[in-house]
């Protein structure tokens, strides 16, 4: 029997039975993917990805599911995992059960779900690979031009190579046979991933702010910039860096890491005095390189091998079998700390269709509580935007307009809170709104309104503002989708 005969056989499988693949290179490797919401949030976190996903959902709702491109799965412990077609399967799952959709896109999914007969997408035809290795082969062979199938980005491809590198214990020949890439291409991928991971060294991390570090370790970091930068011979010559297969050799480790940290700073800071992106790194290379620190390599002939063993040296780094390298152990932030310097901890993220809500949330993660007036007023505005977001995602605008006999824009925040408390909220979130609407309580809407309309200053301490936010936080978790990065 031909080892690829399984590609000619399609088997009906229930959509509910199919499990999404947590190790899919499209996903952020630094986040956990346990429930459906985790996958949705990740696959729609980028605005372009969200538009493409919406286009896919809309196409299925209009034309039904067209099995033109294979859905490839493999069986493991009596469960079927999707190797190829995760976006399509995710779209089908949401259309069948829109209540499982995150609030940020629930209104859209619900509207599209109403256009399709859900029984028609109860089962789909899939190709069942004999093993994950066979599915792995297909992933590397696939080269679709379908507008509804997105090819991997270069970063996603690099991440896939990293997974194979770990799985096969650095056996380049084995990875070469799977991917059909040349040894040189594979070594280049792995080297660049190693260079990106240098940001996790304590020597580099100490030179970055918390915000810069989080941007630098993000899976969205533009790794192509590093690839282009370190391909320049001038960089290799003047920074004393050389490559030996997949290994990195340095002439002056201390100066190199200092210069590297500065390069990373310029890349992640959009307001820096020099702009570094995939275009300027080529067109303005001389100008950029001239502004970076000098690496002193005069008279230095020997090189230091920057391998796993000496990267780890004195850096408080723990092994991580999921990474191509090592990762630094970071002390987690203390939740509900009244003396914290920022209202919102960096571990929290939201995924909303509201540009203003997303923007304000992310800015409150960065603004220091030395700016108490800005933070206080912003907290009142944030509550208003969060309630509006909830009303829109739940599709209750018309019900509120009917209740109060006026347009939604004329319904005050107090009345909006009263409506959702009585018709939607239960448990702790309902209790929070009750207290919020009571003018006699410490954390009341009256106090929030006073941040914009009164002259009182006794509620403007860092401890009080942090306490107010922590009081509201369980309500915000109901009004919108808040994710916590546990890594």
Q: Point out which residues pair with 192 in neighbouring strands.
A: none
Residue 7 has a pLDDT of 81
Among left, alpha and beta (phi > 0; psi -120 to 50; other), residue 71 is beta
Residue 334 has a pLDDT of 65
Residue among 251, 242, 335 nearest 301 (CA): 251
Q: Point out which residues pair with 228 in neighbouring strands.
A: none
Residue 312 has a pLDDT of 40
pLDDT digits (tens, 9 = 90+) for 198-208: 999 999 999 99
Residue 3 has a pLDDT of 66
Residue 335 has a pLDDT of 73
Cα separations in angstroms, 379 against 219, 344, 361, 385, 486: 29, 11, 9, 10, 25
106-116 average pLDDT score:
90
Cα separations in angstroms, 393 against 113, 412, 421: 15, 19, 16
Contact between residue 465 and residue 369 where contact means Cβ atoms under 8 Å apart:
yes
Give yes or no for residue 23 having a pLDDT over 60: yes
419-432 average pLDDT score:
92
Highest mean pLDDT: which of 65-74, 148-157, 200-209, 292-301? Answer: 200-209
Residues with Cβ within 8 Å of 196's Cβ and at least 6 positions away in sequence, in order, are 221, 223, 226
> What pTM was estimated for this model as a whole?
0.45
Highest mean pLDDT: which of 143-152, 332-341, 400-409? Answer: 400-409
- Can you tell me the distance from the alpha carbon of 415 to that of 417, in angstroms, rounded to the nearest whole number? 5
pLDDT digits (tens, 9 = 90+) for 232-277: 899 999 999 988 778 888 999 999 999 999 999 999 987 777 888 8
Chain centroid to CA 375? 25
Chain centroid to CA 316? 26
271-285 average pLDDT score:
84
43-60 average pLDDT score:
87
Residue 190 has a pLDDT of 84
Residue among 71, 86, 77 nearest 40 (CA): 86
Residue 398 has a pLDDT of 93
151-168 average pLDDT score:
72
pLDDT digits (tens, 9 = 90+) for 162-177: 778 777 777 888 887 7
Contact between residue 122 and residue 136 where contact means Cβ atoms under 8 Å apart:
no
pLDDT digits (tens, 9 = 90+) for 308-352: 444 443 343 333 334 444 333 334 456 778 888 889 988 888 877
Residue 152 has a pLDDT of 62
Give yes or no for residue 105 having a pLDDT over 70: yes
pLDDT band at 144 (very low <50, low <70, confident <90, very high): very low
Contact between residue 419 and residue 388 where contact means Cβ atoms under 8 Å apart:
no
């Amino acid at each position: 029997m031909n080892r690829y005969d399984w590609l000619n056989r399609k088997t009906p499988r229930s959509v509910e039975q199919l499990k999404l693949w947590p190790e899919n290179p499209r996903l952020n490797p630094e986040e956990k993917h346990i429930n459906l919401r985790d996958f949705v949030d990740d696959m729609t976190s980028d605005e372009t990805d969200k538009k493409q996903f919406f286009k896919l959902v809309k196409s299925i709702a209009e034309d039904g599911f067209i099995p033109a491109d294979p859905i490839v799965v493999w069986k493991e412990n009596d469960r079927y995992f999707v190797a190829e077609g995760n976006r399509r399967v995710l779209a089908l799952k949401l259309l069948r059960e829109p209540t499982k959709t995150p609030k940020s896109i629930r209104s859209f999914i619900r509207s599209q779900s109403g256009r399709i007969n859900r029984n028609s997408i109860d089962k789909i035809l899939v190709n069942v690979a004999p093993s994950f290795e066979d599915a792995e082969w297909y992933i590397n062979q696939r080269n679709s031009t379908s507008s509804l199938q997105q090819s991997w980005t270069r970063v996603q491809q690099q991440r896939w190579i990293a997974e194979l590198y770990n799985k096969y214990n650095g056996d380049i020949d084995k990875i070469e046979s799977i991917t059909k890439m040349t040894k040189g291409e594979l070594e280049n991928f792995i080297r660049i991933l190693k260079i990106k991971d240098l940001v996790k060294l304590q020597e580099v991390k100490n030179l970055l702010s918390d915000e810069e570090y989080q941007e630098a370790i993000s899976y969205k970091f533009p790794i192509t910039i590093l690839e282009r930068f370190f391909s320049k011979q001038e960089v290799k010559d003047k920074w004393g860096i050389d490559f030996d297969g997949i290994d990195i050799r340095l002439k002056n480790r201390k100066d190199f890491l200092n210069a590297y940290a500065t390069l990373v700073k310029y890349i992640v800071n959009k307001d820096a005095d020099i702009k570094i992106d995939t275009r300027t790194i080529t067109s303005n290379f001389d100008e950029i390189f001239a502004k970076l620190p000098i690496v002193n390599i005069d008279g230095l002939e020997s090189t230091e091998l920057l391998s796993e063993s000496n990267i780890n040296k004195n850096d408080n780094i723990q092994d991580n079998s999921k990474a191509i390298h090592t990762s630094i152990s970071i002390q987690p932030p203390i939740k509900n700390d009244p003396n914290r310097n920022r209202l919102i901890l960096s571990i929290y993220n939201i995924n909303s269709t509201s540009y203003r809500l997303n923007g304000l949330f992310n800015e409150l993660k960065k603004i220091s509580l030395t700016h108490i007036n800005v933070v206080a007023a912003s907290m009142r505005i944030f509550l208003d935007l969060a309630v509006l977001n909830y009303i829109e995602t739940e599709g209750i605008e018309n019900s509120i307009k009917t209740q109060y006999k006026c347009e939604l824009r004329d319904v005050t925040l107090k009345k909006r809170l009263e409506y959702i408390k009585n018709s939607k909220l239960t448990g702790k979130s309902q209790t929070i709104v009750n207290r919020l609407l009571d003018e006699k309580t410490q954390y009341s809407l009256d106090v929030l309104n006073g941040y914009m309309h009164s002259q009182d200053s006794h509620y403007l301490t860092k401890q009080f503002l942090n306490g107010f936010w922590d009081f509201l936080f369980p309500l915000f978790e109901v009004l919108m989708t808040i994710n916590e990065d546990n890594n």
